[in-house]
Structure 1
Amino acid sequence: MYEQFKAKAEGVSAEVHRFTTSADALAFLVDFLKEEGVADQDGQYCVVAAGPFVDGIDHEQLAAIPGVFFDVTRQQAAGARVGISQVDWALADIGTLVQDATAIDKRLVSTLPFIHVAMIATSGLRPDMTAWLTDANPNDAGYLAMITGPSRTADIERVLTIGVHGPARLVICFVDELGGTN
């Protein structure tokens, strides 16, 4: 199922990675943020939404990078280069992420920065929408977001533009040991 998701998501320009442990995922994030030039200046910082992955890691490793903020405001998210949030499920047949974005910090971090890094427990992977609906009750969420690749739009002349209404890059990180779907 993971390989199917990866193929579908990469088909719409998402970047997909898989890690066995949270420590491996954290090491990837630290390197990724450094490579992206995250810094404590406008347009270069990173905002991180609360969630099981973030709550379970050593914040010091991320906080050691200048420009990584754990307190998310609308203004910060709008000026961020990178936003990191946890999503709840992934639909393999269409390469789509599903996020309970009722918490405003998740919504801001996944929609406003230039790059969205979506952390997900591998156990949140479902074959399709039907399987997801047997496990989840959409009525339990105040705001559900379906994320398929980076933001894209096309005008009447079919000129495709990436990143107009949201992140221009989507980086998806599956973590095997994360467990749970929340």
Structure 2
Amino acid sequence: MYEQFKARAEGVGAEVYRFKDRDGALAFILPFLHQEGGAATPRRSCAVWAESPFLEGLDWEPLREVAGIRFEVNRETAADARIGITQAEWALADTGTLVQDQTAVEQRLASSLTDIHIALVPTGNILPDKTALLSKIDPRASRYIAFITGPSRTADIERVLTIGVHGPERLVIVCVDDMGGATL
């Protein structure tokens, strides 16, 4: 399932990486933040990380100090951030789409106001298609479900494609094998 998801997501412009555990994912994310955030203007150099199960049990202070991550996600911090990090509950292999419960406004801000969106997803939650997904979602528990397929793109009347106008210009998907499953 992962290979099909990766091929489809990369086909629409996303970057996809897979790690065995949270430590492996962090070992990728932290240097990525230094590389991508350091090249930005001072105003757009920080990263925001929306609260998620991935963060449970982690000491946030070293992440704040070493990587400059802000965990207080609001309109101002998200607008100032170059990179937003969120967790998606599901992924769809047939389209390379992430599915995220964005009922919490912090999820929407971190995934849509930044230049680069890093989305964490449990590898075990890659489903074959939307039909499989709909059998797992409880509409009473989730009021705002977002489907994210690739970086933001739009085209004008002359069919000139532009990336990043209405959202992030880059989508980096980090699949983590031992994150377990999420419930909606």
Q: TM over 0.5, yes or no?
A: yes
Aligned residues: 182
- Please show how residues 1-182 of structure 1 align to structure 2 within 5 Å: 1-38=1-38, 41-182=42-183
**5-14 or 34-43, which moves further after superposition?**
34-43
Per-residue deviation, 1:40: 9.7
Q: What SS does the aligned partner of 1:106 have?
A: helix
Deviations 1:93-141 (A, max 9, x none): 0000000000111110001000000001111110000011112223421
Tell me the secondary structure at the aligned position of residue 18 of structure 2: strand
Question: Aligned pair in 2 of structure 1 residues 21, 157: CA closer, same or farther (>3 Å)?
Answer: same
Relative to 1, partners in 2 of residues 1:172 and 1:140: Cα closer, same or farther, differing over 3 Å? same
Unaligned runs of 5+ in 2: none
Which one-letter code corresponds to 2:71 in the other structure? F
Say which SS state the counterpart of residue 93 (structure 1) adopts.
Answer: coil
Paired AA for residue 12 in structure 1: V
Checking the alignment, whether the CA contact within 8 Å between 1:40 and 1:66 is kept in structure 2 is no
Amino acid at match of 1:30: L
Cα offset, 1:60, TM superposition: 3.9
Aligned partners of 2:115 and 2:22: how far apart in 1? Answer: 24
CA distance in 1 between counterparts of 2:59 and 2:160 reads 44
Secondary structure of the 2:158 match is coil
Question: What amino acid sits opposite 1:137 in the alignment?
Answer: D
User: Partners of 2:42 and 2:51 in 1: how far apart?
Assistant: 22
Local SS of the residue matching 2:76: helix
Secondary structure of the 2:3 match is helix
AA of the residue aligned to 2:27: A
Check conservation: 1:89, 1:99, Cα contact below 8 A: yes
Separation in structure 2 between the aligned mates of residue 58 and residue 158 of structure 1, nearest angstrom: 47
Q: What CA RMSD, in Å, does the superposition of the two structures yield over aligned residues?
A: 1.6
Q: How far 1:64 moved relative to its partner?
A: 2.8
